[in-house]
Amino acid sequence: MLARDLTVLDINSAAENIFGVSANRLTGSPVGKVWINVDEYKDMLAIVSNEQTPMTQHDVSVVTGTGSARTFSCAVSPLAGADSDDGLLIEFAVADASPTMMRDAEVQALRQISEGMLRGFAHEIKNPLGGLRGAAQLLDRELPSETLREYTAVILGEADRLTRLVNRMLARNEAPNMVRVNLHEVLQRVRALVLVELPDTTHLRTNYDPSIPEIMGDAELLIQGFLNIVRNAMQALTDAGEVGEIEIKSRVRRNMTIGTQRHRLVAQVDIVDSGPGIPADLQEQIFYPLITGRAEGTGLGLPIAQSLISQQGGLISFTSQPGRTVFSIYLTIASHQP
C-alpha cells in the first residue's frame, strides 16, 4: 500500500519476500528504495491516483534493491480509507513463474508457424468442403420436413463460412475486415453451433453484460476463434467422462494494456469449464501448434484461436486448475480506441 507520494504505508509478507526487506524497515520510505525502476511506471500510478479507477498492466519489470529483476502482472487500485489522499494498492501476480499470457514476440513467431501450417491444411480442406456442400444441397431437396431442412441449412451455412475462412487463410496479406461488431450476436452464433454437438452430460450457459458497446473486429474470424476455445472445453469434459458445465461470460474491463496500447475500456469474454484442467507440463506450450493433451487432438484449435484474435488486436490469457479452466479473450471496444 502506497501513499500518493509513493511512500510505503504497508506491505504483506509476500511483498517482503519479493523485495527482500521487512515491513518495519520499509514502512514510511519511498517505494523507489526497493523498486529501483518504479519511475518507468509512474505514469500508470498517476493515472490511477488522479482518475480513481483501477488499472492492470502485464509484463511489468521490477528491479529490486537486491539487484534481481522479475516480471509481474500488476494491478493498481485506489486505496479507500488510506491515511493520505489518493493512496494506492498494488498487487503483483508472478508472471515469470506461470507465464499464461503470450508475449508479443511469441505471438508473432507462433502466428508465422501457425499460418504456414494452416495454409497447408487449407489446401487439403477446400476440396472436401465443396463435396460436403453439394451433398447437403441434394439432401435438402429430398427432405420432406421443413424442420429437417433447418439442419441442412446449418450445414450449408457452415460450409460457406468455412470456405470463406479457408480462402482467407490462403490469402497471405489479407487483413481482417475490422468493423463495428455486436459481440453478443457473435457469441450467440457460437452458442447455436455448439448446441448442435453438445453432449447430454455438458450444460452450456451464458452470462452476458448487455451494456457492452460494439467492439472492433471481424465477425467471421471472431466466431471461429471463440468456437475453437468452446469446443476445446467441450472436448476436455467429454474425454474426462465428466458431467460438467461450460459458461460463456462477457464483461467490461477497465484500463487494460494490450501490447503497447492502453485502453480505457475493453470487452472481456471468459470461457469457463469445470473440466480436469490443463496439465501443468503443457500450460507454457498450450498455444504452440500440435501441442495437445488429447490422444485424438490435433493441437491446432488454440493456436488458430490465438492467431485469429491477435490479428484483430486482441489478447488471450488463461488460468487452469482441476475443476476450473478459464480462457479470457480481450477485445477493443469500438468507441474507446486509443
The CA distances from residue 184 to 158, 208, 327, 331, in Å, are: 19, 8, 17, 13
Instruction: Find the range with the poorest average confidence among 25-39, 146-160, 278-292.
Output: 278-292
The pLDDT confidence band at residue 299, using thresholds 50, 70 and 90, is low
Domain residue ranges of the chain, discontinuous segments joined by +: 13-94, 104-336
Q: Give the pLDDT confidence score for residue 223 in this predicted structure.
A: 92
Q: Which residue, among 323, 322, 319, has the nearest Cα to 100 in the 3D structure?
A: 319
Amino acid sitting at position 336: H
Q: Give the pLDDT confidence score for residue 98 in this predicted structure.
A: 40
pLDDT 10s digits, 199-245: 888 899 999 999 899 998 999 889 988 998 999 889 888 887 878 89
Q: What share of the chain is helix, strand, coil (3-state, %, to 5)?
A: 45, 25, 30
The Cα 268–Cα 252 span in angstroms is 6
The Cα 243–Cα 96 span in angstroms is 34
Taking the model in full, what pTM does it have?
0.56
Is 100 in contact with 283 (CB distance < 8 Å)? yes
66: cell is 537486491
**CATH among 2.60.40.10, 3.90.960.10, 3.40.640.10, 3.30.565.10 for 104-336:** 3.30.565.10
**CATH code given to domain 13-94:** 3.30.450.20
pLDDT 10s digits, 39-55: 888 888 888 888 888 88
